[in-house]
Amino acid sequence: MKSWFLACCASLTLAAPAWAQQKLLPAQSEIVFVSRQMGVPVEGRFKKFDAQVQFDPKKPETSKVAFTVDLGSAALGVPETEAELAKPEWFDTRKFPQAQFQSTAIKGLGGGRYEVAGKLTIKGQARDLVVPVAVAQNAGTTTATGAFTLKRLDFKIGEGDWADTSMVANDVQVKFKLALTGVPPL
């Protein structure tokens, strides 16, 4: 029922990156989603995701990022609820196993801040998205962080009886931290 976290996949639009040697460090990265069920915040995370990054901090307009999230990896800490998410009313993971984000433009805003525009596709529904991203570097690792809110019903997440937003809110906040190697100095 927390399928709204799907949104998190969108978060993946980080400050996206540059050469083939740029790699995501999954163990140091996370995608978290927060929704409200009957007014109570419910937090979950995706355990499996990947990114293809080409990011040049000096020329962000030439950069790009593609992100995939394994929707079946959504974790809420309750196995019964996680099993519900795979069903057609929520993520329909049999038919739509992944969410995808593809950047269309990356704009530098100064001070390690970027705006990443792109298309987020979940459950066959594609929507334009603009995500603010902060980028920092430390000891050879580049970390891109950001957050955005998506509307779960735009992606047909929580169909049928679950479309009632008094039970499960339409807004889902997605927060991400993506650790990368191989990114040139800021």
Average pLDDT over every residue of 130-149 = 96
Q: What is the pLDDT of residue 9?
A: 38
Task: Note whether residue 75 is domain-resident.
Answer: yes
Average pLDDT over every residue of 102-108 = 97
d(CA 139, CA 150): 33
Q: Cα angle at 167 between 161 and 172, to 5 degrees?
A: 105
pTM listed for this prediction: 0.86
Note down the domain range covering 94: 3-181
DSSP letters spanning the chain: --GGGGGHHHHT--S---STT-EE-GGG-EEEEEEEETTEEEEEEES-EEEEEE--TT-GGG-EEEEEEEGGGEE-S-HHHHHHHTSTTTT-TTT--EEEEEEEEEEEEETTEEEEEEEEEETTEEEEEEEEEEEEEETTEEEEEEEEEEEGGGGT-S-GGGG-TTTB-SEEEEEEEEEEESPPP-
Task: Note whether residue 23 is domain-resident.
Answer: yes
pLDDT greater than 50 at residue 53: yes
Each residue of 120-139: pLDDT tens digit?
A: 999 999 999 999 999 999 99
Average pLDDT over every residue of 164-177 = 96
- Residue with the bigger pLDDT between 73 and 2: it is 73
Query: How many folded domains does the chain comprise?
Result: 1
Task: Note whether residue 71 is domain-resident.
Answer: yes
pLDDT greater than 50 at residue 172: yes
The CATH number that applies at residue 39 is 2.40.128.110
pLDDT greater than 50 at residue 97: yes
Q: What is the pLDDT of residue 21?
A: 83
Task: Note whether residue 186 is domain-resident.
Answer: no
Task: Note whether residue 74 is domain-resident.
Answer: yes
Q: What is the pLDDT of residue 176?
A: 96
Each residue of 1-36: pLDDT tens digit?
A: 443 333 333 343 333 333 458 999 999 999 999 999
